[in-house]
Amino acid sequence: MFHPEKIPSAQHRYIDQTKRVVGVLDQALGQSESGWLVGDMCTYVDLSFFMWDEQIAPMMAVVPDSEWHEDDFPNWKKWHERMAEREAVKKVVEEKAKLLVGAQH
C-alpha cells in the first residue's frame, strides 16, 4: 500500500490483519455495557484506536479487492461513529487534515 513496489501478498496480509484487529475490537465492544473499550467512559484507549481507525478506509481504497465492509463490524462501526461525533475528536481530525495538506506542499 505504501511501498513503491506493490506486493500483493504483503497487501493482503496487512488487510487481513486490519480486519482481524477490527474484529477483536468489534467483539470487545459487543461485550461492553458502556460501549467504550475500557470502563464506562471514553478513555485514551478509545482515542488511540480511533486515530488508527481513521486510516482504514483510505488504506482499503488503495487495494480494490480488499473487501472492506464496515457493516461486517456493527459494534465497531457504531463506536467509530460515536467517536467521530465528539467535538474534541472532530477538532483533532481537522487539525491532522490541515497538517497533512501543509506537508504535501
- Give the pLDDT score at 29: 97
* Statement: the pTM of the whole predicted model exceeds 0.75: yes
CB atoms within 10 A of CB 53: 18
Nearest Cα residue to 70 out of 62, 86, 81, 83: 81
Q: Specify whether the CB–CB gap between 71 and 77 falls below 8 A.
A: yes
pLDDT digits (tens, 9 = 90+) for 21-76: 999 999 999 999 999 999 999 999 999 999 888 888 888 887 777 788 889 999 99
